[in-house]
Structure 1
Amino acid sequence: MEVVLRKAGRTKIRYPARLLADDGTRVTVRAPWAGAGARDFGFVRFEPGDVFVEHFWRDRWYAVKEVYAPDGSLKGWYCDVTRPATLADGVLTVEDLDLDLWCSADRTTILRLDEDEFAASALPTADPAAAAAARRALDDLEHLARTAGLDRALGLTRPAAR
């Protein structure tokens, strides 16, 4: 299958993924790091060989990506605030709404990301209801990360990275 991440009406990235599960609400896929080379965010580095186990919901405004190093160790969870996912003809499509959350594997680093990009985007004025849903989703993700933990709260399993 293929994952398509759209942003502001355009395709930001598309990449192949292997379907792991689809229960009608949550779709889980596994994909290698799809970026060109390494990307260092300062708090985590994504690089060739990393594996992402990605969870997308048809009824929630976010996606949660478990990020594994090439040796299979969990780096953490990268969460995208998105519109609910759609799946049709082997293509899983999500619309990125700029807001993100990072939670390290040891849960000591939890960061809200890109709030400035979100505020500068057209979404808050063009679609206030979607903007409010996006803000709630980020708040919900942060709450889950700081309390029960994303993996436990969302029922995420840790399949082998390979």
Structure 2
Amino acid sequence: MSANSAEPSSLLDVVLVKAGRTKIRYQAELLADDGTRIAVRAPWAGENVRDFGFVRFEPGDVFTEYYWRDRWYSVKEVRDSTGALKGWYCDITRPVTRSGSEVVAEDLDLDLWLSADGTDVRRLDEDEFAESGLTERDPQAAAAAVAALDELEALARGDDFEALLA
């Protein structure tokens, strides 16, 4: 077994960083790490319901999260407490890093939602991205972020989205 292979019941700390500060940190069960993609599973890390209007994240929800070391996004499959699929929440991030038992993803403000039935594809937080100043501070990262959002949206509107997670 390689150093990056998942051990059964291994736990990782997932750290989401935004604007240089830790936005949230939570423990997740490591499902797989093939050296490029890391898959983890964790319960909803918020203490309360977060209602976006088009979806609610709430206690009991389970997130299966996919992070890549070579892609500018992560994908979170969201299921309710009964196992019913709510949809996929995608964060535009810099490629993830893993050091020991810690996975760090830097949030770049852009997001995409894809409903379970595939009829609702939404680009989110483009205003926050514009206000972040990333385009001025790091134009290459900003261009990579926009390209990643475009790629995810094209996958979500096509037939290839779930293949991304296989």
Offset at residue 38 of structure 1 (A): 0.5
Separation in 2, partners of 1:150, 1:12? 27
Q: Does 1:82 pair with 2:96? A: no
RMSD: 0.7
Separation in 2, partners of 1:125, 1:148? 35
Per-residue CA deviation, residues 30-85 of structure 1 (Å, 9 max, x unaligned), is 00000121000000000000000000000000000000000001100000000000
Q: Which runs of 5+ in 1 are unaligned?
A: 158-162
Q: 2:161 aligns with which of 115, 138, 150?
A: 150
SS at match of 1:137: helix
SS at match of 1:52: strand
Structure 2: which amino acid aligns with 1:131?
A: A
Q: 2:81 aligns with which of 70, 77, 86?
A: 70
Offset at residue 8 of structure 1 (A): 0.5
Offset at residue 122 of structure 1 (A): 1.7
Return the TM-score normalized by structure 2: 0.92
Q: Which runs of 5+ in 2 are unaligned?
A: 1-11
Structure 2: which amino acid aligns with 1:111?
A: R
SS at match of 2:59: coil
Separation in 2, partners of 1:151, 1:140? 14
SS at match of 2:148: helix
Per-residue CA deviation, residues 97-135 of structure 1 (Å, 9 max, x unaligned), is 000000000000000000000001121100000000000
Return the TM-score normalized by structure 1: 0.94
Separation in 1, partners of 2:93, 2:74? 7
Separation in 1, partners of 2:157, 2:56? 22
| Structure 1 runs of 4+ with >3 Å offset | none
Equivalence for 1:128: 139
Equivalence for 1:27: 38
